[in-house]
Amino acid sequence: KQEVTQIPAALSVPEGENLVLNCSFTDSAIYNLQWFRQDPGKGLTSLLLIQSSQREQTSGRLNASLDKSSGRSTLYIAASQPGDSATYLCAVTGADNAGNMLTFGGGTRLMVKP
């Protein structure tokens, strides 16, 4: 059964730092990997989607990479801002499951201090 792990569970950084969030998964047979942001009391906002054939995706200050063979993804946030404070979740869609089920990691709670 697919398992997704995110390290670290929590991270506190000063404003302006570049940072990396890690995600690992046990089964490399995936359709894609998606990074989400979750703010307290709010829903999940999709940040980046990487298809299994891709190595990375970029959106603004965010860059996500995927190494499917080793079961790893990283989310790089450049020049962090207090507004980036949130919980970041990665999720994979297994290649053998119906219904497009996402298997989520436990999340990294990020705090960016002014």
Partner 1 sequence: EAQVTQNPRYLITVTGKKLTVTCSQNMNHEYMSWYRQDPGLGLRQIYYSMNVEVTDKGDVPEGYKVSRKEKRNFPLILESPSPNQTSLYFCASSSGTGAEAFFGQGTRLTVV
In the bound state with partner 1, the residue whose beta carbon lies nearer, of 79 and 101, is: 101
Candidate ranges 16-24, 42-50, 63-71, 74-82; the one touching partner 1 (CB under 8 A)? 42-50
Say whether residue 89 binds partner 1 (CB under 8 A): yes
Dist. CA 83–CA 71, nearest whole Å: 29
**Do residues 61 and 47 make contact, with C-beta atoms less than 8 angstroms apart?**
no
Candidate ranges 14-22, 67-75, 77-85, 91-99; the one touching partner 1 (CB under 8 A)? 91-99
Dist. CA 73–CA 51, nearest whole Å: 12
Say whether residue 107 binds partner 1 (CB under 8 A): yes
Say whether residue 98 binds partner 1 (CB under 8 A): yes
Say whether residue 60 binds partner 1 (CB under 8 A): no
Dist. CA 26–CA 45, nearest whole Å: 24
**Do residues 65 and 5 make contact, with C-beta atoms less than 8 angstroms apart?**
no
Q: Which amino acid is at 114?
A: P
Q: Which residues sit at the interface with partner 1, rule CB under 8 A?
A: 31-32, 34, 36, 41-46, 49, 51-52, 89, 91, 93, 98-102, 104-107
